[in-house]
Amino acid sequence: MADKLRGRKIAFLATDMVEQVELTRPLEAVRSAGAEAELISLEPGQIQAFNHYDKADRFPVDRAVEDVDADDYDGLVLPGGVGNPDTMRQSGHAVSFVRAFFERGKPVAAICHAPWLLVEADVVHGRRLTSYPSVRTDVRNAGGDWVDEEVVVDEGLVTSRQPDDLDAFCSKLVEEFAEGYHEGQRRSVHAGAAAR
């Protein structure tokens, strides 16, 4: 597994109140597989991670989302935590960045509350995915097929429900990032637009 992602560059999109373990475990997984990883956020500096409702560590931001392009990355990880994706989905730059990965057929992995960003980017219509249970109605209202499973893989989209699912989530995201391009990602963008 050490070389499975060698030469790949993976973006991690997060801001304050990110669930720390949902950031650090996938970071460790892609780096252990040989990938370069960058933490992208709303602005330069540092972000404050949380362990549920308690402050945890701070992490340095590599680049601001308004200064990046999906073409520069091979995959995208969206960690959860309640406040992180709720803040992120209010940023037009963040939503456009997420949508761009789907438009280009690149793999995306989202855990916990992070599928809120997928809903906002209008890329869940016709897709099978999971999330934290409180996001279920949002996913279904956006045309997604929500299921209660540890990890769900749907043509380049990897989703999981919560930190307890991280082993399966990390394994599958490395696998999908190694596969690279997925035509199903591109089709979901067009399906969402057609459904409107």
Yes or no: say if 26 and 12 are a contact pair by the CB < 8 Å rule. Answer: yes
The one catalytic residue among 93, 112, 170, 190: 112
Q: Say whether 182 is catalytic.
A: no
Q: What is the DSSP string of 53-103?
A: TEEEEEEE-SEEGGG--GGG-SEEEE---SHHHHHHTT-HHHHHHHHHHHH
Parallel, antiparallel or unpaired: strands 151-154 and 157-160: antiparallel
Q: Using CA atoms, how far apart are residues 5 and 34, in angstroms rounded to an integer?
A: 5
Q: Say whether 113 is catalytic.
A: yes
Yes or no: say if 33 and 174 are a contact pair by the CB < 8 Å rule. Answer: yes
The one catalytic residue among 52, 113, 125, 170: 113
User: Residue 134, exposed/middle/buried by CB under 10 A (0-12, 13-18, 19+)?
Assistant: exposed
Give the residue numbers annotated as catalytic, written as ranges.
112-113
